[in-house]
Amino acid sequence: MEYKTTNVDNTIIITLTGEIDLQTSPQARELILKTLKNKQHVLVEMSAVEYIDSSGMASLVEGFQNAKVRELYFGLVNISEATRQVLALAHLDKIFPIFDTVDDGLAIVNMSASE
């Protein structure tokens, strides 16, 4: 797994690529939780994720729950077909906010932050 972060206003876009599995999910988890600890909203861009297993999903769920506790926004953006299938299988596609584009996600973050 590789990642890149981009800061837009008070939102960090974490772009994940490759495989998110038992070996790499701790790195994804640490990155997500560190960003939330710094009181920044998180959008996880996943168009280049080729594979994600249950440990990767657990990292996303923990990030989502942590964001709720901190009253921050957490969403998934441009998810790959492989990710979409795992989310659907676990019925997490009904839990996570999922956006087609980063701009769509940022619009919702900005709207919810202004309320």
- Which pTM does this prediction carry? 0.94
Helices (H), the chain: 25-37, 54-69, 81-89, 102-113
Q: What is the pLDDT of residue 10?
A: 86
Q: What's the pLDDT at 111? A: 83
**Strands of 41-52's sheet in order across:** 2-8, 11-20, 41-52, 74-77, 98-99
Per-10-residue mean pLDDT, the chain, length 115: 93 96 96 95 97 96 97 96 94 95 93 69
What structural domains does the chain harbor?
A: 25-101 (3.30.750.24)
**Residue 112's pLDDT is what?**
75
